[in-house]
Chains A and B, each alone.
Chain A
Amino acid sequence: MHHALPPGTPAPDFTLHATPDQRISLSEFRGNPVVLAFYPADFSPVCGDQMALYNELHSEFQRHHAELLGISVDGAWCHTAFKEARRLHLTLLSDFEPKGEVARRYGVYRSEDGTSERALFVIDGEGIIRWSYVSPVGVNPGADGILEALEALQTPAAKGGAGQ
């Protein structure tokens, strides 16, 4: 079975293509929360809904200064076509070469399918995973868990109680 990296684990850094000619590293977002949304494939019906929902929530994520990054094993050109077809303004990363490498490092690669799990990670500004969730692959996990995790980051307890 899969073991998604649990809360408290430093999030492995990575550099992936966001478009055919632009690469993005996780470490660029240090200082602000990041939501990693692994999903199996562009254009599959559930993913479409899931990404469309996150697209609508852009302003909510911004309120938390959080960046949402979608990740699948699809190539950058495929992501471009997917975003155009669905009018998405999200950053979608290509875990394409070596295929599924980042998903493997986060413990959410499905070698039986050659895709990733439908898995969510909320990473804090220090690069530590604070929340993770693996949804059944056919079920859209929605955004309630993500928003709750982002809110929890802002409470003092989540910062290790460093008051005053």
Chain B
Amino acid sequence: MSNQRLAPAVSDQDHVLGDDSTLVTLIEYGDFECPFCGAAYPVLKRVQERLSNRLRFVFRHFPIAQSHPHAEHAAEAAESVAVQAGDGAFWIMHNLMFEHQSALDDASLARYAEKVGADGQEVLRDLRDERYQRAVRDSFMQGVRAGVNGTPTLFIDRIRYDGPRDEETLVAALELVAERAEKPTA
């Protein structure tokens, strides 16, 4: 029953790697402090490399804030960076945070923001003002309604993927969908 729900369609609110012309879309609902997301990060990176321009990758926030005390601010900081310095900066910030999951306190977040070309002080102000709290919560609640039950949860073309998350299985699953998209049945 839960499996039949669709993730919201990709919109201009999303952080997207790849363009509309790709054959298959992989959506991750993730938490920057979640160790399972941290473990999935290099795998998803290799999967993206292998599918190359056939794949579009989307990251959506799903912070489990009580279990991961820095997750909410990490998500909000990523939003602040995206608004300040663009989606390219968002993705570098995304990478930096997954590569430094043990250092996600506010000062570290500001430092990463500086590295990607945003203003660290402004990130800290945005965190204090809870400027992106609503956006992060909206992403979380939309995920809940789509059947996201923990992190990371993956969707392939908006359908929840519950299979193994190793590189080979994921690539095979995505290839299958991409091939179908390439040769639509008459």
CB within 8 Å of B: which residues of A? 46, 49-50, 52-53, 55-57, 60, 86-89, 133, 135, 139-145, 147
Contact = CB atoms under 8 A, between A and B. Distances in A.
A156 B66 CA distance: 35
B149 A56 contact: no
Specify which of A53, A55, A147 lies most central, judged by the most chain B CB atoms within 10 Å of its CB: A53
A35 to B, nearest CB: 14
B134 to A, nearest CB: 13
A56 B64 contact: yes
A50 B144 CA distance: 12
B144 A147 contact: yes
Contacts of A145: 1-2
A114 B140 CA distance: 34
Interface residues of B, number: 17
A75 B2 CA distance: 30
Contact of A140 (B67, B140, B141, B149): B149
Interface of B: 1-2, 5, 64-67, 140-141, 144-150, 162
A142 B2 CA distance: 8
B67 A57 contact: no
Contacts of A60: 141, 144
Contacts of A52: 64, 66-67, 150
A7 B58 CA distance: 38
A64 to B, nearest CB: 14
Contacts of A139: 162
Interface of B: prevailing SS = loop
29 contacts: A46-B150, A49-B149, A50-B149, A50-B150, A53-B64, A55-B66, A55-B67, A56-B64, A60-B141, A60-B144, A86-B66, A86-B67, A87-B67, A89-B66, A139-B162, A140-B150, A141-B2, A141-B149, A142-B2, A142-B144, A142-B147, A142-B148, A143-B149, A144-B5, A144-B144, A144-B145, A144-B146, A145-B1, A145-B2
Specify which of A49, A60, A142, A143 lies most central, judged by the most chain B CB atoms within 10 Å of its CB: A142
A50 B141 CA distance: 15
A144 B7 CA distance: 12
Contacts of A87: 66-67
Given A56-B140, A86-B67, A147 B1 contact: no
A40 B32 CA distance: 28
Given A49-B150, A52-B150, A142-B2, A147 B145 contact: yes
B148 to A, nearest CB: 7
A61 B25 CA distance: 32
A73 B82 CA distance: 46
A57 B67 CA distance: 13
